[in-house]
Amino acid sequence: MKITIGTRGSRLALIQTEDVVANLKQINPEIEISIRQIRTSGDVITGTPLAQIGGKGLFVKEIEEALLRGEIDLAVHSAKDMPTELPPGRLGPPGRLGPPGLIIGAITERVDPRDVLISKGNKRLFDLPAGGGIGTGSLRRKAQVLAARPDLEVIDLRGNLDTRLRKLEEGELAAIVVAAAGLIRFGQSEVISQFLPPGLMLPAAGQGALILEIREEDTESREIISKLNHLPTYLSVLAERAFLKELGGGCQVPIGALASFESIPKRELSLEGLVASTNGERIIRAKLEGQAEAAEEIGRSLAHQLLDSGAAELLTSFGSPILFPGLHFNKS
């Protein structure tokens, strides 16, 4: 069997893809695998905040197009980069993910989903000097940093992990906030100054997990790729993405979500979510538990719990209520 894998060309994306290759080889040592690097719009447009240029879909569009054309057989995506606008059907095998004809073949075991602080002098968040610059390209991170430290200056920072680390080293910033998973996959955990606990910094939906996307009719690839599916991660990401989708959010809105298994024997899943103002002055946060098999329903229910608690008003401040299908808000 031969498989061509499509991925972004960043060092992190290639490391993630090599991990997938190694796991596939372990399942079937005879499989022939080649990797095709695909430059996405998100890789080309690096000087503008994601919220202003279209958000998450910019990192997957060209890869999905290559998959639909049959130029590749499998796409490897960071789950947090995947848009939540799903056509009819479930998320996950055999549900759809992106354009009609594409489905999730597997969601692999998650690496640490937390965000981390990397700072000069190895300082923790509450030890950074007042007025110091802290870099991030995420509205979600910005809101939560300012909620904890309103005296810091949050500076928009885009680019790959190497670029962000270089800007910190060059003296432009006092600290940066990035995902732990990237540093762990790089083998650079030693640069981390502080793992930010979810109570302080709730991660993005899907952070730390990889989604493997295939063509719906490709039953041969589906059979082998499905063996890489990690059920606890799959159910957690399912709940987080359902929460995000119900709120209609993405990179344009500060939303965080993290699911975990509170009791493995009882298969109970706990989901925590938040919606925030970009200045961090207002954060609406809640937690919901339920049976893991009802992951999507837990996500949707938590979203409506937050909407009823004031998130609806907060979200409309980011744009038109059209973001939230079927929901109508009184702006008076």
- The letter for the amino acid at 206 is G
| Token pair 């063509």: residue | 215
Note the Cα 308 to chain centre separation in Å: 25
Note the Cα 266 to chain centre separation in Å: 27
Query: Pick the catalytic residue: 43, 73, 81, 218?
Result: 81
Does the annotation count 81 as an active-site position? yes
The DSSP bridge pattern shows strands 255-263 and 133-136 to be: unpaired
| Token pair 């975990």: residue | 260
Structure-block tokens of residue 248: 């209609």
Angle CA(121)–CA(15)–CA(85) in degrees, nearest 5? 95
Give the up-direction half-sphere exposure of residue 87: CA atoms within 13 A in the CB hemisphere: 11
Closest CA to 106 of 236, 205, 230: 230
What angle separates helix 161-169 from helix 11-27, to the nearest 10 degrees?
A: 140
Closest CA to 143 of 304, 319, 290, 278: 278
Task: Assess whether the previous peptide bond of 203 is cis (omega < 30° from 0).
Answer: no
Closest CA to 78 of 101, 52, 110: 110
Note the Cα 204 to chain centre separation in Å: 5
Counted residue by residue, the chain has a size of: 332
Name the helix (H) or strand (E) containing 44.
helix 41-44
The residues that are catalytic are 81
